[in-house]
Chain A
Amino acid sequence: MTALAKLTSVELKLLVREPGAMFALLIPLFILVVFGSSIEPGDTVLLPMSLAIAVGLVGLYLMPTTLATYRERGILRRLSTTPVRPGSMLVVQLILQLVLVVVACGLLLTVAGTVLGARLPGAALPVVVTFLLGTAAMFAVGLLIAALAPNGRAANGIGVLLYFPMAFLAGLMQPADQMPVILASIGRYTPLGAFRQALQDVWAGGSPSLLLWGVLAAYAVILSAAAARLFRWE
């Protein structure tokens, strides 16, 4: 097996052994099921919310904690003494966290579509594009946290500290139309808020908002560029 394939399989095993990964799968599912009992058939709000929560948990919490811990423990540094570049570890981690996000969202879609009778969108392409842009934006925030946090615990703390205000502003704790107008409009342009709103728009069958796509793409590009500049291997 090549080094990269071996690294991927070992990191996959570690991800499965990591309790945090289980939380990222189960918390959104729990929210979906608890609130799902009271939704109307054909609901277009709850499922996009749960998906945004799942992506947010992985991007803000799991990924930065993992990367910052690897740097803190000298794992990236140790790798750089071998023929394998430490950048490979970053690539493998990004791929696996993306796989985790896809699995979490697949689980939500399956449960919501079958048991709860929530609406599944008809046009796949706008949904997929929105999902990818939103995930890229959330991962970019996570990479920036990983770049700035001195160690794993700090990354974890920053992730949690950012997650709650972001989830609040994004309308993940209560519907955005029940929030003060000013907060709702700010929230609309936060990474998680833009993601939730864009997802909800296309979920209901509306045409995607190019403005929100642009906002998500801008977050993804600017924040990951900043992360790349600030990231330190040790």
Chain B
Amino acid sequence: MAVIEVSNLTKKYADLTVLDGVSFSVEDGEIFGILGPNGTGKTTTVECVEGLRRPDAGSIRVLGLDPVKDGRALREQIGVQLQHTQLPENLKVWEALDLYASFYAEPRDWRELLEEWGLADKRNARFGKLSGGQKQRLFIALALVGNPRVAFLDELTTGLDPQARRTTWELIKRVRASGVTVVLVSHFMDEVEELCDRVAVFDRGSVVAIDTPAGLIEGIDAEHQMRFTVMTENVADLAGLFDGVPGVSGVSRTGNRVVVSGRGDFATAVTARLARHHVLVSDLRIDKRTLDDAFLALTGRSFTPDN
């Protein structure tokens, strides 16, 4: 069952088209990623879905509700972590959770959230005294305190150190395990690859692909390399060895170090050819394709997050 259905979303500011026919749907219980560089309409899209902005055209259904017309009913069932929001400096951690819990008809016990998100010993600390990571964890806890069916997390781990990011990822997996659908807006490839069941790739206000992270990577047809060192002495015609291997587009050799370039699943064929000719190799490495490569292949430009 789809909990979110977005079709043909369009949004313009003056002459600037921010969203141009965005469509996707999010299934119950999945972590759905919205990936793209800054300024490609990710946040605008999510804010339309949350009911914070009105689209110029297109339709949105969240849990069967219209975010504009049924806003009040919808806000009971969603939790939101926004980019660039703060709390009053002098508000204490427990007060923030207690306050936000009071906004909802059936909130979660905020004391549990304090424990879960590692904030128990910061219970009485003021917001202004928290570290970046602690603030971020508090915002996520606030997004979950209303016991939502869908949680929207925008740039979840921005400003966190690598250790804190890993911890946050594990917690987000637990959120999914508890049955909450998560919409994750991110410009971090590794985060999306690690967490998301499916991803919508945004570029210039449009969705250019929707697939699993693995599917996106599989789908690209970019050239990549495999490298190895030849152990067998006196291989006469090393370059000629790979003639006719499907997918191979080039071979280069420096001493006994060999780099084979190709497309698709050429690596399997290359290793089979080596085995048939009884050529022993070591240090075999295949350059792993990543979501970055997928993005480059989809949009024709490299992914530079902070422009």
Q: Which of B52, B90, B99, B105 contacts A81 (CB 8 A)?
A: B52
Interface segment out of the listed A39-47, A71-79, A163-171: A71-79
Chain B residues with CB under 8 A of A229: none
Q: Known A81-B50, A81-B80; judge A7-B72 contact (CB<8 A).
A: no
A1, A3, A14, A81: the one contacting B91 at CB < 8 Å is A14
Q: Report, as a range, how many residues of chain B touch the other chain.
A: 20 to 34
Q: Give the contacting residue for B52; candidates A7, A70, A77; CB below 8 A.
A: A77
- Chain B: which residue is nearest A6 at the CB level? B102
Q: How far is the CA of A7 from the CA of B100 in the complex (A)?
A: 9
| B85 touches which of A13, A17, A78, A83 (Cβ 8 Å) | A78
Tell me the complex Cα distance, A77–B139, Å.
14
- The answer to whether A82 has its CB under 8 Å from any CB of chain B is yes
B52 touches A83 (CB 8 A): no
Contact size class for A? 20 to 34
Complex-state Cα separation, A223 to B1, whole angstroms = 51
Contact between A80 and B52 (Cβ–Cβ < 8 Å)?
yes
A81 to B78, CA, bound (A): 8
Q: Which residues of A contact B204 (CB under 8 A)?
A: none
Interface residues of B in 179-198 (CB under 8 A from A): none
Closest to B143 in A: A81
* CB-contacts of B142-177 with A (<8 A): 146
User: Interface on B for A, CB 8 Å cutoff?
Assistant: 50-52, 72, 75-76, 78, 80, 82, 84-88, 90-91, 95, 98-100, 102-105, 146
Q: Which residues of A contact B146 (CB under 8 A)?
A: 82-83
* Chain B residues closer than 8 Å to A69, beta-carbon distance: 88
Q: Is A84 in the interface zone, CB < 8 Å from B?
A: yes
Query: In the complex, what residue of chain B is closest to A233 when comparing beta carbons?
Result: B52
Question: From A74, which residue of chain B is reached at the shortest CB distance?
Answer: B85
In angstroms, Cα B87 to Cα A82, docked, is 15
Q: Given A6-B98, A81-B82, A84-B103, are A73 and B75 neighbors across the interface (CB < 8 Å)?
A: no
Question: Given the known A-B contacts A14-B91, A75-B88, A83-B76, are A6 and B82 also in contact in the complex, defined by CB atoms under 8 Å?
Answer: no
User: Which single residue of chain A is at the shortest CB-CB distance from B102?
Assistant: A6
Measured CA separation A17–B90 after assembly (Å):
7
A2 within 8 A of B: yes
Contacts of B85 in A (CB 8 A): 73-75, 77-78
Would you give the 0/1 interface string for A68-108, flagging 1 where the beta carbon is closer than 8 Å to chain B? 01100111011011111000000000000000000000000
